């Protein structure tokens, strides 16, 4: 079987759909190369002295792991000098990162969660990097936070790297979802899954059940119906799967279906949710929609949500279409 590299795939995709200009191709390749470097650091673990806390907090007030900080630096340094970016934004940083004056500027803007699933780092469970690419607004001179506040439907590319038993890169540029596996001996990304599709129906769900007592009624109703099994209103038995790493949970759903839920709850009524719209919800929603699934915030399509701030949080319901539509309808009824 002929092996197709990431570069060959991107060049052929440009010929076919005319949606990957050279600058965007270079950007994706640089992000992929940075993910390769992060994968190497993750793989070293304690041997590379990268485990444990960095004893600092990010803008979200969360204690950072050493790998969080390292991954953030790797992505910033890799993408600064290439000339394809106007600015970057990271979940780990308070405001946007401008390209230094000594480098040329490009027409794209990159957002990323450098290491998703931090709580799993020290216990050797799958973690990942999530990224989103936007086009800089016409006539923009010096980028501001406001320039990044574009609805998810404006993304030109989105993807994630999954650092697990294999290192994978899952990517969309708006024409389906494809998966690449890192050949560690050769150091190259090889296309291993084309046009990934999420089944419209499912019997698996992912949610942190320890928060049950804090859920709002639509989520309680929906989960109770699933737990009622084949004799309940949904007429089938469900399994629960929860990895506590969004990348790993979404990857499972892309491969075999399911619904992932991270709802708002009554613990902090003033917070709309926990996951970040710009760094997690939007890129994952683009991937899920491109694979035939659905993604909402409980009330509306996720990709239609107009961001109001860089670190905005949202409730997330994504995965197999019929189940996402069901739980969204329960929210709309209330």
Q: Residues within the annotated binding site for Mg(2+)?
A: 91, 113, 115-116, 280
Quote the tokens at residue 105. 């500027």
Q: Residues annotated as binding site?
A: 91, 113, 115-119, 208, 274, 280
CA–chain centroid gap for 187, Å, is 23
- Specify the length of the chain in residues: 334
Residues 6+ apart with CB under 8 A from 102: none
CB contact at 8 A, 88 and 109: yes
Euclidean distance between CA atoms 77 and 152, whole angstroms: 25
The annotated binding site for substrate is made up of: 116-119, 208, 274
**Is residue 183 within a helix (H) or strand (E), and if so which, with residue range?**
strand 177-183
The answer to whether residues 150 and 156 touch, using CB atoms and an 8 Å cutoff, is no
The residue to which tokens 């106007």 are assigned? 86
Q: 135 Cβ partners below 8 Å, 6+ apart?
A: 107, 108, 109, 154, 156
- How far is 50 from 44, CA to CA, in rounded Å? 8
First to last CA, the chain: 53
């Amino acid at each position: 079987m002929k092996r197709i590299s990431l570069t060959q795939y991107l060049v052929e995709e440009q010929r076919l759909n005319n949606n990957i200009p050279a600058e965007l191709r270079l950007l994706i390749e640089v992000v992929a190369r940075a993910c390769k470097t992060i994968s190497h650091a993750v793989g070293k673990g304690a041997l590379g002295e990268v485990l444990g806390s960095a004893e600092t907090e990010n803008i979200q007030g969360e204690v950072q792991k050493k790998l969080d900080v390292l991954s953030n630096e790797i992505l910033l340094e890799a993408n600064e000098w290439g000339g394809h970016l106007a600015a970057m934004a990271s979940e780990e940083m308070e405001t946007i990162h401008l390209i230094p004056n000594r480098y040329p500027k490009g027409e794209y803007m990159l957002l990323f969660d450098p290491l998703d699933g931090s709580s799993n780092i020290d216990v050797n469970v799958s973690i990942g990097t999530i990224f989103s690419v936007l086009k800089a607004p016409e006539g923009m001179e010096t980028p501001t936070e406001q320039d990044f506040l574009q609805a998810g439907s404006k993304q030109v590319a989105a993807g994630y790297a999954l650092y697990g038993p294999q290192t994978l890169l899952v990517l969309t540029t708006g024409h389906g979802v494809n998966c690449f596996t890192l050949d560690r001996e050769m150091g190259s990304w090889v296309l291993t899954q084309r046009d990934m599709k999420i089944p419209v129906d499912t019997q698996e769900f992912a949610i942190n059940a320890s928060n049950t007592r804090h859920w709002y009624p639509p989520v309680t109703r929906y989960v109770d119906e699933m737990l009622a099994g084949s004799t309940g209103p949904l007429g089938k038995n469900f399994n629960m799967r929860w990895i506590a790493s969004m990348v790993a949970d979404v990857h499972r759903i892309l491969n075999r279906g399911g619904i992932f839920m991270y709802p708002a709850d009554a613990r902090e009524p003033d917070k709309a949710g926990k996951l970040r719209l710009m760094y997690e919800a939007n890129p994952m929603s683009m991937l899920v929609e491109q694979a035939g699934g659905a993604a909402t915030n409980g009330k509306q399509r996720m990709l239609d949500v107009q961001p109001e701030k860089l670190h905005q949080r949202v409730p997330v319901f994504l995965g197999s279409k019929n189940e996402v539509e069901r739980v969204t309808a329960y929210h709309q009824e209330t």
